[in-house]
Amino acid sequence: MLGSRGRLRSADRRALADEELMQLVQNGEVDAFEVIFDRHASAAFSLAYRMCGRRATAEDIVQDAFLSLWRSGSGYDPRRGSVRSWVLSVVHNRAVDAMRRVGSKAGRDVPDEGIADRLPAAERTDAEVERRDDARQLRTALDELPPDQRRVIELAYFGGFTHNQIAEMLDLPPGTVKGRMRLGLTKMRYVLGEGSRVTV
């Protein structure tokens, strides 16, 4: 009986929205935190892995980000966006910090493929279907950019490089790098449709 009630409570928690779960997390509910982790850890790990290219480093970043979330909420403010976008921004910032701290850029954009398991394409909920559809649109928009614009955007966002570092790498004037970033993002916004839903 107790077990039955426990499972029901667990199922109920999994039906809650992230914002409701975060209130429980702030009250110290481990089970609510576990649901948040299960919903967003794959995206967090994938982002960190994409940025660092090293599984061990990516795991450290994700662990650090989620433990910070558990200890303090780490600055989550529902007025500024979804839990998912906030988790991913924490992971992104920490990955950039980690890469800049290490200093060496060698091998960063060459993931150790084969060590991590690709996520099966199962789409279990409407939200996941919607999210995967958004991701596909975004990848298409990125892939359709001229290579020189896509490269500066990827080096900046996923590589954590500043525009001066990119300019040095590509032997371009800094103004050209900034211009390509702007053109690329403007085209992506146009391709995705002004006013269309681009959410995380």
Contact positions with another protein (CB under 8 A) in 14-73: 23, 26-28, 30, 33-34, 37, 41-43, 45-47, 49-50, 55, 59, 61-64, 66-68, 70-73
By beta-carbon proximity to another protein, the closer residue of 4 and 195 is: 195
Q: What is the C-alpha radius of gyration for the chain, rounded to an integer number of angstroms?
A: 19
How far apart are alpha carbons 12 and 84 in whole angstroms? Answer: 20
Judged by CB under 8 A, the number of residues near another protein is: 80
Residue 4 vs 126, nearer CB to another protein: 126
Output the smallest distance, CB 156 to another protein, in A.
4
Element (H, E) at 147: helix 147-157
192 counts as binding another protein under rule CB under 8 A: yes
Kindly state the helix (H) or strand (E) to which residue 97 belongs, with its residue range: helix 83-102
Structure tokens at 73: 């909420």
Min CB(96)–another protein separation in Å: 6
- Residue 130 identity: E
**Considering only residues 91-120, where is the footprint of another protein by CB under 8 A?**
91-94, 96-98, 101, 116-120
* Binding span for another protein by CB under 8 A among 1-9, 12-20, 155-163: 155-163
Which amino acid would we find at residue 75? Answer: G
Please tell me whether residue 81 binds another protein under the rule CB under 8 A.
yes
Examine residue 77 and tell whether it contacts another protein (CB under 8 A): yes
- Region of residue 29 (phi > 0: left; psi between -120 and 50: alpha; otherwise: beta): beta
CB nearer to another protein: pick between 105 and 189: 189
Give CA–CA dist 136/156, Å, rounded.
21
Inter-residue contact 174 to 168 (CB < 8 Å): no
Q: Report how far apart, in Å, the C-alpha atoms of 113 and of each of 20, 53, 116, 194 are.
A: 37, 8, 7, 36
Confirm or reject binding of residue 157 to another protein (CB under 8 A): yes
178 touches another protein (CB under 8 A): yes
Q: Is residue 156 a contact residue for another protein (CB under 8 A)?
A: yes
Distance CA 71, CA 22 (A): 12
Site string for another protein, 121-150 (x = CB under 8 A): ----------x--xx--xx--x--------
